[in-house]
Amino acid sequence: MNNLFSLARSGLSTAQAAISVVGSNLTNGMSPTYSRRDIIIAESGGLATPNGFYGYGAKVNGVQRAYDAFANNQLRGSISNWSALQGRHEQLSDIDDMLGNESDNVSVSLNNLFKAMATLEGNASDGPSRSAVFNSLGALTQRFNESGKRLSGLEKSTNTHIEQTAKDINSYTEQLAEINTQLERIQGQNGTPPADLLDQRDALLEKLSEQIGIDVAENKITGRVDVTLADGRPLVSGGTSYKLETSPSASDPNKTIVSYVGSDGKASPINESSITQGRLAGLFKFRNEDLTVARNELNQIAFQMATRFNEQHTQGFDRNGDPGEPLFSLPDIKARASNGNAGTGKMDSIRVTDPSRVRADDYIISFEGGSWTVTTADGRTVEAEVMPGMQPTLTFEGVQIDLPAGVADGDSFTLNPMAGMAEGIGRAIDSADKLAAAGDEEGGPGDHDNLTLLLKIQDEKLVGGDTLTGAYTKLVGTIGANARAVQSGLTSAEIDLDTKYNTKQALTGVDMNEENVNLAMFYQYYQANSQILQTATSLFDTLLSIR
């Protein structure tokens, strides 16, 4: 009789536990971070007798959390890949839309200028036609200005995104370190890491992998994870997290860099090319490739256009018979002294001596061992010549610099001769009468010889073997091709991400239909054990009634 009561009691207890686990699955099953729980039911032993083996009932051997380390790792990798493309695409699409605007872009404004010049060529003395050319000059410079400012704005927004990404990474690594501490403490007390903390851990790892590519090593006993960057430096080690910090670049204060802070508290800049996964990688790639190409090419077009137009315009004569003035104004070329310079020297006098050779490259000009060297940011050594004299000069690739006094050994300067040209270009003449259409000082109303030469500039190959409009079209094509490639990659990455997510969910997620079946099954299990208890009670009452 006692055995019947024991059987019923163990069955009811086991059924209650099973229904509780199923209920938890049904309640939390819609959460994307929840992992299914499975109850493990086993025999409670029994008694061997001459008449056979009699079982003592059932017991709960534990509640198992559905988990697959490989599937989780695959999902994190897919998240990192998708996020890198998404981070780049968000910014790149903005440039693509701006440059490729068919109704309002630099190329349209440039063509409008040439059309206005062609109209004026037919009647060089016509006042409205002169005004049309004058206004077209203003519209063209405004379009360059707005495009340049838009690109500068994108650089600032990218810096802001980079700063926020670094903050998010630090937040996630701090939380992971805290969870590691809790997991080790609770596992030491109870012998089993709690499933809810493991779910939080995995959710944080997915969020972290969205921001930056990571490698994860898991302790299967405690549930603790150690997280490292692709280069092996730790982000999380046990209960310790390591931070990333952002700061302006020493060579370019407009550029935000990310540094890794080691255990010694010292910050060392991250090699941006080594970050290939996660949102941070996409932002780096956009800023270092897409944005750099767009700005450099646009600045180059603005500079070459202004330089060539000014050269030709000053060969003619305006409506009053005065020599032509420059049509366009350009900003001064500036070099930045590195923040680490010990000397006081500044490079204030920089000029272009050969427009055909000048490039929109980032140069690093260094003074070491008493001599000057010039290299590009990508490591190319540039042939440079120092001309001694009362004012020594440094000449390289169409640029000439008056070398400053007060420099110390190890000082360096950064320079891009084309920086800010699009954003700073302006219309130099202040009235339509100053258009130098005539080729001769005594030219009559019909003299448009210089205007004809100005019109021919549209066919000259001024930028890398292309005409001005050809160079702009090439730029639009390059950015457009990059945008399409990123979009295609993003589409593929989304498919892969969905596949990896569904694979993980199939292994660890909650199937509502299956859980409803389990609920009905364990309810019947509970009812059956209730019947055993009722039967045992009836038998006991019958025995008590026997006299």
Q: Which of 355, 350, 376 is nearest to 301 (CA)?
A: 355
**pLDDT bucket at 100, cuts 50 / 70 / 90:** confident
Q: Let me know: does 272 contact 284? Beta carbons within 8 Å.
A: yes
Three-class DSSP category at 436: coil
Residue 198 to residue 183: CA distance in whole angstroms? 8
Give the pLDDT confidence score for residue 539 in this predicted structure.
74
With beta carbons less than 8 A apart as the criterion, state whether 87 and 286 touch.
Answer: yes
- In DSSP notation, 511-530 reads -HHHHHHHHHHHHHHHHHHH
Mean pLDDT, rounded, for 441-461: 86
Of residues 360, 370, 463, 478, the one with CA closest to residue 418: 360
pLDDT of 455 above 80: yes
Backbone conformation region of residue 389, classed left if phi is above 0, alpha if psi is from -120 to 50, else beta: left
Cβ pair 393, 401 in contact under 8 A: yes
Give the chain's mean pLDDT: 91
What is the token pair recorded at 500?
Answer: 């990896």
Closest CA to 377 of 420, 331, 424, 419: 419
3-state secondary structure of 440: coil
- If you write DSSP's letter for every residue of 325-385 in order, what string do you get? PPSEE-PPP-EEEPTT--S------EEES-TTT-----EEEEEETTEEEEEETTSPEEP-E
Please determine, for residue 51, whether its predicted confidence score (pLDDT) is greater than 80.
Answer: no
Percent of all residues in the chain with a pLDDT value above 90, rounded to a whole number: 69
pLDDT, residue 95, reads 92
3-state secondary structure of 464: coil
Residue that wins the pLDDT comparison between 379 and 76 = 76
Tokens for 284, please give them.
């780096």
Alpha carbon 198 to its chain's center: 29
pLDDT of 289-348, one tens digit each?
999 999 999 999 999 999 999 999 999 998 888 999 999 999 999 999 988 889 998 998
Residues shown for the chain? 547
pLDDT score, position 538: 76
Q: What's the pLDDT score for residue 505? A: 92
In the chain, the percentage of residues whose pLDDT exceeds 70 is 97
Q: Say yes or no to pLDDT of 15 above 90.
A: no
Alpha-carbon distances, residue 13 vs 56, 296, 526 (angstroms):
13, 74, 9
Written as one letter, the residue type at 528 is A
In the block, tokens 């730790």 appear at: 234
Give the type of residue at 403.
Answer: L
The torsion angle over the Cα atoms of residues 73, 78, 79 and 82, rounded to 10 degrees, is 170
Distance CA(141)–CA(425), nearest Å, equals 6
Q: Distance between CA 230 and CA 246 in Å, rounded? A: 19
Q: For residue range 203-219, list pLDDT tens digits in order.
A: 999 999 999 999 999 99
C-alpha torsion 515→519→522→523, nearest 10: -170
Residue 1 in this model has a pLDDT that exceeds 60 = no
C-alpha dihedral sign at 59, 65, 70, 71: positive
**Residues 338-378 pLDDT 10s:** 888 899 989 989 999 999 899 999 999 999 988 999 999 88
Residue 94 in tokens: 């903005």
Predicted local distance difference test score (pLDDT) of residue 458: 94
